[in-house]
Amino acid sequence: MTELPKKEQLYELIKVNPFISQQDLAIELRLSRSAVAGHIAGLIRERRLLGRAYVLPGRRPITCIGAANLDRKLRSLAPLTMGTSNPARQDESFGGVARNIAENLARLGAPVALTTAVGDDASGRALLAQAQAIGIDTGSTVTLAGRCSGTYTALLDAHGEMVVALADMALYEAITPALLAEQALHRSAPALTVADLNLPPATVAALLDDAAHGAAPLVIVAVSQPKMAHLPAALHGLRLLILNQGELETRVGAPIRLDADFAAACALVQAQGAQDVIVTRGAGGLFYTLPGGAVGQMAAPATTVVDVTGAGDAFAAAVCWSLFNGSDDLELACRRGLKLSGMTLECEETVCPWLGADSLDEIHNFGSDDGHDYLAPPGFNALYQE
């Protein structure tokens, strides 16, 4: 059988591993780096590759935009006593909502790019090296001279539940609309954009405007109640907002107690322009919007909690993975999200280390008789009127 030309051999290698380096291609094909670069340039001219990370047509990435931190977790070894020293164990890992979502997606086998900012320090270099090693394209990430990378420090009790967390996220103010526009020149057009609310308000507004004018569908993931102030009043262009109960209460400016309150609050957010909303409630399950204005409710499966850190990001990643793979069914997406968040709750790592491309394969939508029900769309009441 005739051997394929070198350019075709190179193309086949890239199809298997879109993040393979030119040096590795040169070694594999016994070519010079310049010859490899020439073949890649030819494939790009032919539109068989789409630029950075050698993204293949039909495999545009999910682009995650937001925080990438060094996470520190201090876990008490006994019941906490306020006002004094407590024995604890410290663990350090890589975190940040956008980065966590990107890692989950990469481990699920999706093509993913990360747009973030890191400092020119050891933490920043380690963050980028780890992301690249697991297949995340970091070509649109910026390194800021003279700045420290973002940090997130969580205090957990002896049961693994978060007591308080401290976040240094000022670095992400540098991710401006102008910076995103500049970085867009160096990355392929995404199939789906996922942004966290560590971004400045102007940047969130710019992403919404882009989505409203035909850019890739946009998913926004809330990060805390204070950061809800970064979300504009108008949400036109937003495919999906993922947030928890406290963040939803902050958004609508009222407490939420009854199921009907959740439905009314979701309807208000949709009236502001969002297509869909998912509200997570930890062990209390979740609510999600349905076509026609109804709201679905789903129970959380029983889980042995080892560490809650990263579970919400895992949920968001699975939902985004479901959307990316062609399903607009939020019920199915939520099932997948609960599966992945449960796996994360049961391990100490922020991202489940045994996650793989087949982890969500067995999650299918078999109907509406197993742990969830639906609420009719309520009318607005005075509690939610501005």
pLDDT of residue 55: 53
pLDDT of residue 86: 94
Tell me how far the alpha carbon of residue 384 is from its chain's centroid: 29
pLDDT of residue 355: 81
236, with CB counted inside 10 A (0-12, 13-18, 19+), is: middle
The alpha carbons of the chain give a radius of gyration, in whole angstroms, of: 22
β-pairing, 295-298 vs 372-375, is antiparallel
CA 344, 173, 196, 126 torsion-angle sign: negative
DSSP bridge partners of 113: 63, 137
d(CA 32, CA 25) in angstroms, rounded, equals 9
* Position 96, amino acid: G
> Side by side, which strands form the sheet with 136-137?
136-137, 112-115, 62-65, 192-196, 218-221, 238-244, 276-280, 286-289, 295-298, 372-375
Phi, psi (deg, nearest 5) at residue 323: -65, -45
Phi, psi (deg, nearest 5) at residue 258: -100, 160
pLDDT of residue 353: 83
Q: What pTM, to 2 d.p., does this model score? A: 0.77
β-pairing, 218-221 vs 117-119, is unpaired
Q: Beta strands of 96-231 (E only): which ranges?
A: 112-115, 117-119, 136-137, 142-144, 151-156, 162-168, 192-196, 218-221
Phi, psi (deg, nearest 5) at residue 350: -65, -35
pLDDT of residue 186: 65
pLDDT of residue 188: 72
CA 140, 341, 106, 58 torsion-angle sign: negative
What is the CATH number assigned to the segment(s) 60-72+95-151+171-384? 3.40.1190.20
pLDDT of residue 192: 95
pLDDT of residue 366: 40
d(CA 287, CA 263) in angstroms, rounded, equals 8
For the chain, the domains span 6-45, 60-72+95-151+171-384
Per-residue pLDDT of the chain (386 residues; tens, 9 = 90+): 467 889 999 988 888 777 677 788 889 999 988 888 888 878 877 767 755 455 555 578 999 999 999 988 899 999 999 999 999 999 888 999 999 999 999 999 899 999 999 999 999 999 999 999 888 999 889 999 999 999 888 898 988 888 998 888 899 999 999 998 887 776 778 999 999 999 999 999 999 999 999 899 999 999 999 999 999 999 999 999 999 999 999 999 999 999 999 999 999 999 999 999 999 998 889 999 999 888 999 998 888 888 787 899 999 999 999 999 888 899 999 999 999 999 989 888 889 888 887 788 766 554 444 444 444 333 323 332 33
What is the CATH number assigned to the segment(s) 6-45? 1.10.10
Phi, psi (deg, nearest 5) at residue 348: -80, -20
Same CATH fold, 60-72+95-151+171-384 and 6-45? no
Closest CA to 111 of 179, 24, 51: 51
pLDDT of residue 41: 79
